[in-house]
Chain A
């Protein structure tokens, strides 16, 4: 029963995990590894999730904590039972290549540092300043200051990319 609720929750918000994997990992193999680790961490945390925040806020928290602070980057070597054995692909931005703007935006966000990337993902996904402050662990005022800085940085990156 719990497994079914978990799978439904993950599926409902799978876009959050895809976006984080795409922006924090350069190649498909790393993305799959990160995806698996996020699912594992979500599963571990699921029984203690008490609904104090929404499912999506909890998923952002776990996924970003895993991608930034808890994911062990190992040297490339073939691993048994790797996710690559499964016919599973993370839909990345190139698969939506019809949109040049999206490609450019993805490239610009990739150039930001890890924390700025997290903040802009949360901002673009329309989380409130309070939610962002809670997930990142900084004050609401700092979120505002930081978002303004990142917006300017992104606009400049996109301008320089076009010229």
Chain B
């Protein structure tokens, strides 16, 4: 088959497609109302998840600050909790800013090359926030015993108080490492990450292909 035959065959195909039944209003409306499976929408949902988790932890921390369930008597005792609250607030602000920027992404007015590059840029956005959320959450567990340190120093002296604080912090750290080593977070996280990285590599290859034409 030469190119003339190819074109004729293609036009025959096109004609047959145009003869198919038209799409009704109900079907198109239902398509519009369904959940988007675009890459940008997926990343938006990731941001929403990060924001919800951060908001939950922020609420817990604010409740601790307001209710004072651990009977803190000095301002310094609040330091670890305040630091955590500030880090969660920062994550919320950054996630909100990135989410707003993402809403402005419009791949429908650009060329295929522009669209691929835009999606690659969007792909790199959530990494930072996800890492920050994980670090902030694990810091919460590690830093919490520090808030009791001043009281302990007063009661049992510096040496014993430091040891008494380091022990629960070390236990938290060991439990965290054991959980990581045993693969508690591995399966789901790695699978998702691998999928994302594969797609990113695929898009980068397409982008290079277009650049090197």
Is B112 a contact of A68 with CB atoms below 8 Å? yes
**Beyond A69-B112, A69-B116, A81-B34, is A10–B23 a contact (Cβ under 8 Å)?**
yes
Complex A-B: 18 CB contacts under 8 Å? A18-B20, A40-B34, A40-B36, A48-B106, A61-B110, A61-B111, A68-B112, A69-B39, A70-B119, A73-B199, A101-B1, A113-B206, A115-B112, A124-B6, A124-B7, A137-B210, A138-B213, A158-B1
User: Which residue of chain A lies nearest to B5 when distances are taken between CB atoms in the complex?
Assistant: A101
Give the number of chain A interface residues (Cβ < 8 Å): 65
CB within 8 Å of A: which residues of B? Answer: 1-3, 5-7, 9-14, 16-18, 20, 22-23, 25, 27-32, 34-42, 106-116, 118-119, 199, 203, 206, 209-210, 213
Distance in Å: Cβ of B118 to nearest Cβ of chain A: 8
Contact partners of B14 in chain A: CB under 8 A: 15, 19, 125
Tell me the interface secondary structure of chain A in the complex. Answer: helix
Is A65 a contact of B1 with CB atoms below 8 Å? no
Is A45 a contact of B108 with CB atoms below 8 Å? yes
**Beyond A19-B14, A86-B27, is A114–B206 a contact (Cβ under 8 Å)?**
yes
Is A71 a contact of B18 with CB atoms below 8 Å? no
In the bound complex, CA of A61 to CA of B116 (Å): 12
Distance in Å: Cβ of B79 to nearest Cβ of chain A: 43
Is A155 a contact of B3 with CB atoms below 8 Å? yes
Kindly list the 8 A-B residue pairs having the minimum CB-CB distance in the complex, ordered from nearest: A137-B111, A137-B113, A45-B108, A15-B17, A65-B115, A124-B10, A142-B213, A39-B31
Distance in Å: Cβ of A7 to nearest Cβ of chain B: 5
User: Which residue of chain B lies nearest to A43 when distances are taken between CB atoms in the complex?
Assistant: B32
Q: Is A25 on the interface with B (CB-CB < 8 A)?
A: no
Is A14 a contact of B6 with CB atoms below 8 Å? no
Q: Is A72 on the interface with B (CB-CB < 8 A)?
A: yes
Distance in Å: Cβ of A156 to nearest Cβ of chain B: 11
Is B112 a contact of A105 with CB atoms below 8 Å? no
Distance in Å: Cβ of A62 to nearest Cβ of chain B: 5
Distance in Å: Cβ of A118 to nearest Cβ of chain B: 6
- A127-163: CB near B (< 8 Å → 1, else 0) gives 0000000111110001001100001001100100010
Is A69 a contact of B13 with CB atoms below 8 Å? no
Contact partners of B9 in chain A: CB under 8 A: 99, 101-102, 105
In the bound complex, CA of A93 to CA of B17 (Å): 9
Is A136 a contact of B113 with CB atoms below 8 Å? yes
In the bound complex, CA of A115 to CA of B2 (Å): 22
